[in-house]
């Protein structure tokens, strides 16, 4: 059985590698089509160049960027609004265009908490949820191409009982990890066989690995065994955006 194609939609360059890099590498290795849409930062920025390197490691093609500004870094996309401030109709439409162009079986994105609660993470969740539903309706955004309905969305999540290592790492930098009840997690993926590739993709985001309290920098400062405990498993909550395919397990065979 061919592995399903995956379109990852995340807020910032490096989010894709941190929370879904193992799944992306695993599916690419199995011959599946994989790609990443990133909501913020200009395609002409240094972060875009780093993203291209990371996606090359993961086998996820070229960057696909909405081009909005980061909530906390307005000059990340000169002349563009912050993602959270952009007209919703516009940002949903741009995302629909990418979904219909790539035609994924599965979309992965942030959950409603956005892990650390970053406004861009939470907004990416909302925009992706609307776009995944709209993409399957040919009466909406007809200029974005023929309708396409993904089979499912998977939201990156952190179960309460299994997030201690990451929560401790973030708390040391004064950050809070938002977790979900364990029974809300519907896919647990062991990505340790692809951990070297995932870590290389994270390291490709060079400006983040040296930026004080960023997660890539924090991960760079701990021993490999502790890093494996943080990065070796990826968790997701499934959501059916349109047509229902119950019983399918796209992320865990």
pLDDT score at 140: 97
pLDDT bucket at 244, cuts 50 / 70 / 90: very low
Query: In this predicted model, what pLDDT tens digit does every residue of 109-122 receive, in sequence order?
Result: 999 999 888 999 99
Is the pLDDT at 179 greater than 60? The verdict is: yes
DSSP output for 118-130: -HHHHHHHHHHHH
β-strands 233-239, 187-190 pairing: antiparallel
Q: Among 59, 76, 5, which Cα is nearest to 201's?
A: 59
pTM of the model: 0.94
Q: Among 17, 24, 189, 11, which Cα is nearest to 106's?
A: 24
Q: CA angle, 113 as apex, 110 and 118 as ends, to 5°?
A: 80
Once rounded to an integer, what is the mean pLDDT over residues 218-240?
Answer: 95
Q: CA angle, 113 as apex, 239 and 41 as ends, to 5°?
A: 95
pLDDT score at 218: 95
Is the pLDDT at 209 greater than 90? The verdict is: yes
Could you give all domains of the chain from N- to C-terminal order, each with its CATH number?
6-239 (3.40.50.10320)
Query: In this predicted model, what pLDDT tens digit does every residue of 38-55 receive, in sequence order?
Result: 999 999 999 999 999 999
Of 37 and 176, the structure prediction assigns the larger pLDDT to 37
State how far the Cα of 54 lies from the Cα of 201, in Å rounded to an integer: 4
Helix intervals (H) in 30-137: 46-58, 88-102, 119-134
């Amino acid at each position: 059985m061919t592995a399903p194609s995956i379109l990852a939609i995340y807020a910032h360059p490096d989010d894709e590698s941190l929370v879904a890099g193992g799944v992306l590498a695993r599916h690419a290795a199995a011959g599946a089509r994989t790609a990443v849409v990133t909501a913020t930062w200009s395609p002409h920025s240094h972060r875009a160049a780093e993203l291209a390197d990371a996606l090359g490691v993961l086998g996820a093609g070229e960057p696909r960027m909405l081009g909005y500004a980061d909530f906390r870094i307005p000059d990340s996309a000169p002349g563009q609004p912050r993602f959270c401030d952009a007209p919703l109709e516009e940002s949903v439409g741009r995302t629909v265009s990418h979904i219909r162009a790539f035609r994924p079986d599965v979309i992965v994105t942030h959950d409603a908490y956005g892990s650390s609660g970053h406004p861009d993470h939470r907004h990416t969740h909302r925009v992706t949820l609307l776009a995944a539903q709209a993409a399957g309706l040919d009466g909406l955004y007809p200029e974005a191409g023929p309708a396409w309905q993904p089979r499912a969305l998977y939201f990156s999540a952190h179960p309460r009982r299994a997030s201690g290592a990451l929560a401790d790492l973030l708390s040391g930098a004064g950050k809070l990890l938002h977790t979900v009840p364990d029974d809300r997690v519907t896919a647990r993926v062991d990505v340790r066989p692809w951990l070297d590739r995932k870590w290389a993709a994270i390291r490709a985001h060079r400006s983040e690995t040296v930026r004080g309290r960023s997660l890539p920098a924090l991960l760079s400062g701990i021993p490999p065994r502790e890093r494996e405990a943080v990065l070796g498993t990826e968790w997701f909550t499934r959501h059916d955006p349109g047509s229902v395919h119950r019983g399918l397990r796209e992320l865990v065979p």
